[in-house]
Amino acid sequence: VVDIEAIKAFLKKCWSVDISTKEYAYLKGAVLFNPDLEGLRCLHYIQALRREAHQALNEHVRLIHRDDSMRFAKLLIALSML
């Protein structure tokens, strides 16, 4: 039940900032490449993939949403709800 509520909160936040499909894909990559999960091997590789997802999202936001300097932070806040 807690996980469902977290997902609902995440989706609500995404809808409130009118997230694009590209932004959603970058956020999904950041979730998938989670180095904090137990039992994973190649943590440095997984951390690098997550960093690349964050960097790609940041570059996309700066290019497409130049007038919204807080958009990247808003998206990361949405991500933290999961």
**Residue 32 sits in a domain of what CATH number?**
1.10.565.10
Give me the pLDDT at residue 1, please: 66
Total count of domains within the chain: 1
Do residues 58 and 74 make contact, with C-beta atoms less than 8 angstroms apart? no
Determine the 3-state secondary structure of 40 from DSSP. Answer: coil
Q: Which residues contact residue 7 at a Cβ distance below 8 angstroms, ignoring those fewer than 6 apart?
A: 82
Quick one: pLDDT band at residue 66, thresholds 50, 70, 90?
Answer: very high
The predicted-structure confidence for 17-59, as pLDDT tens digits, reads as follows 888 999 999 999 988 898 888 888 889 999 999 999 999 999 9
Closest to 79 measured CA to CA, from 5, 10, 1: 10
Residue range of the domain that includes 65: 2-80
Token pair listed for 48: 């690098």
